[in-house]
């Protein structure tokens, strides 16, 4: 007997919708909801992509940040259209949030696979739903930083 994957797909679709919705919130609201590190990571990624080096302000070198995200996926929107305009920083930040939303949704797959190894399907689905629809996890994972990238690559 073939089992339907519809419950898993619906949970993943719902998770993706919530994460993309969070990524598309107005920037002034995101400024209140996200850590200031998210904006710093976006600034470092932009300056690195447009050739200013690893700097937050475009002038002074910086350190003390985790380089995984800003020097990899975080720089992609800024490499696509390199410019120093403020609107470019905001558009790149939004693109980074959308990348985070996709990666955050993908990280649910290995977690679900792990749950399936230790629990029957109904409990694994409940665990997947808790991870998928938890507002705090959505806020923490769609933040233009590296936690979801680390989880996805593990």
Residue 104 CB-density burial (10 A; 0-12 exposed, 13-18 middle, 19+ buried): buried
Q: Dig out the tokens for 25 from the structure.
A: 């919130």
Indicate the range of 1-10, 71-80, 95-104 predicted with least confidence: 71-80
pLDDT, greater one: 139 or 12: 12
Distance in angstroms (rounded) separating the CA atoms of residues 103 and 109? 10
Beta-bridged to residue 61, according to DSSP, are 55
Angle at the Cα of 24 from the Cα atoms of 10 and 39, rounded to 5 degrees: 125
Q: What is the mean pLDDT of residues 20-31?
A: 92
Q: Which of the four pLDDT bands, split at 50, 70 and 90, describes residue 148? A: low
* C-alpha torsion sign, points 80, 31, 64, 58: positive
Report how far Cα 9 is from the mean position of its chain's Cα atoms. 20
Q: Which of the four pLDDT bands, split at 50, 70 and 90, describes residue 82? A: low
pLDDT in tens, 48-64: 888 888 888 888 888 87
């Amino acid at each position: 007997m073939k089992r339907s994957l519809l419950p898993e797909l619906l949970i993943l679709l719902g998770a993706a919708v919530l994460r993309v919705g969070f990524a598309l919130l107005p920037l002034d609201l995101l400024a209140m909801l996200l850590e200031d590190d998210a904006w710093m990571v976006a600034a470092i990624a932009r300056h690195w992509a447009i050739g200013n080096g690893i700097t937050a302000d475009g002038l002074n070198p910086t350190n003390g940040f985790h380089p995984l995200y800003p020097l990899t996926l975080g720089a992609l929107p800024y490499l696509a259209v390199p410019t120093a305009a403020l609107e470019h920083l905001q558009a790149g930040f939004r693109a980074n949030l959308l990348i985070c939303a996709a990666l955050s949704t993908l990280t649910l797959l290995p977690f679900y696979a792990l749950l399936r190894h230790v629990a029957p399907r109904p409990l694994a689905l409940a665990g997947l739903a808790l991870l998928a629809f938890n507002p705090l996890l959505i806020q923490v994972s769609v933040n233009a930083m590296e936690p979801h990238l680390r989880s996805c690559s593990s």
